[in-house]
Amino acid sequence: MQDQNTAILVDELLKANTKDKIENLLRGLLTPKELEEFAKRIQLVRMLKKGVAQHEIAEKLGMGVATVSRGARELKLGNFKTI
C-alpha cells in the first residue's frame, strides 16, 4: 500500500508542473511546520553536497544531528540526485 501511495504522490507532483502549482499542492498537503521542515531537509542535502560538517548543519538549521546523519546516509545511498 505504501508504494501505491508514494506512486500517487509522485504522480500528483508531476502534474503540478509549475512553481505555483507545486507550492499550492505542498501548502495544501502539509502543515506550515511540515513545509518548513521539508524545506530545511533540502537545505540539509545542499549543505552536505557542499561538504559542510554535519554538526554545523544541525546547528545552522536547528535540527538534530540524527536527522542530518540520516540525510547523509541517504545521500551515500544515491538519493537526492536532483538536489
Q: What is the mean pLDDT of residues 13-42?
A: 96
For the chain, the domain total comes to: 2
pLDDT digits (tens, 9 = 90+) for 46-82: 999 999 999 999 999 999 999 999 999 999 999 999 9
pLDDT score, position 19: 95
What count of other Cβ atoms lies within 10 Å of the Cβ of residue 81?
Answer: 6
Residues 42 and 19 in one domain: no
Are residues 25 and 5 part of one domain?
A: yes
Q: What is the pTM of this model?
A: 0.84
One domain for residues 23 and 39: no
Whether the pLDDT of residue 16 is over 70: the answer is yes
Give the range of the structural domain holding residue 68, as residue numbers without chain letter.
31-83
Q: Within 13 Å and on the Cβ side, how many CA atoms surround 13?
A: 8
Residue 1 has pLDDT above 80, yes or no: no
| Residues 58 and 65 sit within 8 Å (Cβ to Cβ) | yes
